[in-house]
A and B are shown apart, each in its own frame.
Chain A
């Protein structure tokens, strides 16, 4: 039985003023409570005493909650708009197609949550019960949590600085009643910042099984993706593989394929080679994918015969086989992660 704190009510993301203290050095910082900016802060004494620097009190609760989740997978990309959320949704649907499996999708893109729309559950709300917040269910074995369910209207912008975003992420991990899950797929915002660091720190003890990195073929995107892979290495997350999205476009009229985003530097395949990660496959650009996402329907179910569906299924099959292999190497991976973490601690700012 999970040791529960009293059930936290779903927060109202708009209730907090956007002007959080600006120069706070962060509670984990050496300067916490001692920096100039701390003068006058209500929490200065707590910070200065060093109590706040200890491990986050949420960690044991997160660990407990996550003990019933078998696999935790991150979907990452340094670049925005490359199809992280679309891929996450397809992956979720593909896992959930197996009735034996319980899958969860967690959307930690706090400022631009797209998952509710893509899964067609944008008008749903989160309910709090005695065992925590209930995820919103797309079907009985696919639960979803996103800040999108907590906003009064889709127009509202969540104008939060890092610490508030971290708070919500920790709540997603400890207060959501995920139940027994086989897979938890975590969709992330673009970049390498607060959300990414938080999710890694909170899941350090429970272990992240790996990250799937999404890119598009052009160099401007690859640049950001290189940085993301660099990030994974710094924090010791295994990169399960790279997916190239929007790779080639088949004209519906003449059926010829052209490259909208030209792989001027070799595209995802070459990047995967250079960085020494697996290339999982390339998904062609199909306007119907975007349309399905807008309408919140599963592209795989709707257009099972399209080349893009074949590409998706191929990639998902590969992932399944990677997860099967993971079972055997798990202890090995953990050792590697610990080593990488030790090496890289000094690099993370």
Chain B
């Protein structure tokens, strides 16, 4: 791996300590919501932690809305694209998504593989993240162009890449999660663990817990496959509304925020920490931090365990 750092991606990501890919074979299981929560929790995990979120779901970007950054645009600097910061001047939570590049929200990105590949390479090579402790990468469903491109372009920093698999408990979703696991094994990316999302729903009316999408399937799969089970998250309507409505009501306010930052949207973190999911997620992040490979300084020290 002598030429390891020589690609533009390698050079750019040299200043990133950990790269965490959030994936799942199935769509709509909560990858973006987990990515968002992961970024928020990691940022809160230490007073100086710097986190980046990269949304490579090119045809269905959801991260901007969840972080309350709908309608922002990306700025160009001499040193590359400036990420949009969710916490304004503090600039400890940066975000990049194709959603920031669209003129209108409802514009569809109808791209075949080669164009997606080029976009992902640009995202990895051209975004001026600066020093980052964690780069969380949200992926689209499936195991196709986006995923292969990610893995290919990140080959120079492979030792710092790990994955988190998100699933819901029903069999149909677990089937796709298995495919995702096979993908991480084929590409030798260590899996930090598995999160079971939408596991049970607490009726706001009578407090009865219903297993809307069944329950326990994720834990069972983790045991069978020898994965670390990071925890299960029930459906939290409060959280759904928080991430869904994240401050999009006021399109005019976007103007005055300027410079890719927004102080207002960072009420999001405060509000997030009040939801009932936040403490559950904190436990997940704690487990996840333990699972992270120790900070590697030399490339030779690979963190490949799952191979």
Q: Mark B93-119, 1 if CB is under 8 A from A, else 0.
A: 000000000000111111111111110
8 Å CB contacts to B: which residues of A62-87? 78-82, 85
Cβ-based interface call for B186 (8 A): yes
Is B152 within 8 A of A19, CB to CB?
yes
Give the Cβ gap from A146 to chain B, nearest Cβ, in Å.
12
Is A197 within 8 A of B110, CB to CB?
yes
A-B CB pair tally, cutoff 8 Å: 232
Is A80 within 8 A of B26, CB to CB?
yes
Cβ-based interface call for A254 (8 A): yes
Is A155 within 8 A of B25, CB to CB?
no
Cβ-based interface call for B14 (8 A): no
A79 to B29, CA, bound (A): 10
8 Å CB contacts to B: which residues of A26-42? 26
Minimum CB distance partner of A156 in chain B: B182
Is B25 within 8 A of A112, CB to CB?
yes
Cβ-based interface call for A157 (8 A): yes
Minimum CB distance partner of A193 in chain B: B59
Is B186 within 8 A of A193, CB to CB?
no
Contact check: which of B28, B118, B148, B205 meets A254 at CB < 8 Å? B205
Contact check: which of A22, A111, A162 meets B179 at CB < 8 Å? A111
Binds B, one of A97-105, A134-142, A285-293: A285-293
Give the Cβ gap from A89 to chain B, nearest Cβ, in Å.
11
Q: Mark A186-220, 1 if CB is under 8 A from B, else 0.
A: 00011111101100000000000000000010111
Which size class do A's interface residues fall under? Answer: 35 or more
Given contacts A159-B148, A231-B108, contact A192 B27 (CB under 8 A): no
8 Å CB contacts to B: which residues of A296-349? 347-349
A256 to B207, CA, bound (A): 11
Binds A, one of B2-10, B47-55, B211-219: B211-219
Cβ-based interface call for B60 (8 A): yes
Cβ-based interface call for A262 (8 A): yes
Binds A, one of B236-244, B277-285, B295-303: B236-244
A110 to B179, CA, bound (A): 12
Is A293 within 8 A of B106, CB to CB?
no
Is A193 within 8 A of B175, CB to CB?
no
Is A118 within 8 A of B60, CB to CB?
no
Is A291 within 8 A of B214, CB to CB?
yes
Is A157 within 8 A of B28, CB to CB?
no
Contact check: which of A23, A82, A219, A220 meets B114 at CB < 8 Å? A23
* Interface core residue of A111, A158, A219 (most chain B CB under 10 Å): A111
Give the Cβ gap from A41 to chain B, nearest Cβ, in Å.
13
B175: chain A residues within 8 A (beta carbon):
114, 117, 154
8 Å CB contacts to A: which residues of B49-105? 58-60, 62, 65-66, 105
B186: chain A residues within 8 A (beta carbon):
18, 157, 159
Give the Cβ gap from B194 to chain A, nearest Cβ, in Å.
15
Cβ-based interface call for A127 (8 A): no
Contact check: which of B27, B111, B240 meets A193 at CB < 8 Å? B111
Minimum CB distance partner of A151 in chain B: B179
Is A81 within 8 A of B26, CB to CB?
yes
Cβ-based interface call for A49 (8 A): no
Cβ-based interface call for B143 (8 A): yes
Cβ-based interface call for A279 (8 A): no
A156: chain B residues within 8 A (beta carbon):
179, 182
Given contacts A157-B180, A190-B60, contact A111 B210 (CB under 8 A): no
Minimum CB distance partner of B168 in chain A: A81
Give the Cβ gap from B170 to chain A, nearest Cβ, in Å.
5
Is A197 within 8 A of B245, CB to CB?
no
A287 to B176, CA, bound (A): 19
Cβ-based interface call for A54 (8 A): no
Contact check: which of B26, B178, B208, B245 meets A253 at CB < 8 Å? B208
B235: chain A residues within 8 A (beta carbon):
260
A118: chain B residues within 8 A (beta carbon):
172
Q: Mark A230-250, 1 if CB is under 8 A from B, else 0.
A: 110011000000000000010
Given contacts A249-B212, A251-B210, contact A220 B108 (CB under 8 A): no
Is A293 within 8 A of B111, CB to CB?
no
Is B149 within 8 A of A260, CB to CB?
no
Is B241 within 8 A of A227, CB to CB?
no
B172: chain A residues within 8 A (beta carbon):
85, 114, 117-118, 290, 293-294
Is A260 within 8 A of B59, CB to CB?
no
A266 to B145, CA, bound (A): 34
Is B148 within 8 A of A18, CB to CB?
yes
A33 to B141, CA, bound (A): 31
Cβ-based interface call for A259 (8 A): yes
Cβ-based interface call for B248 (8 A): yes
Is B141 within 8 A of A260, CB to CB?
no
Is B143 within 8 A of A157, CB to CB?
yes
Cβ-based interface call for B171 (8 A): yes
A162: chain B residues within 8 A (beta carbon):
112-114, 144-145
Contact check: which of B26, B144, B205 meets A159 at CB < 8 Å? B144
Cβ-based interface call for B251 (8 A): no
Is B210 within 8 A of A249, CB to CB?
yes
A158: chain B residues within 8 A (beta carbon):
143, 179
Is B145 within 8 A of A78, CB to CB?
no
A-B contact pairs, 8 of them (CB 8 A): A24-B114, A157-B143, A220-B62, A220-B243, A221-B28, A252-B208, A260-B237, A262-B244
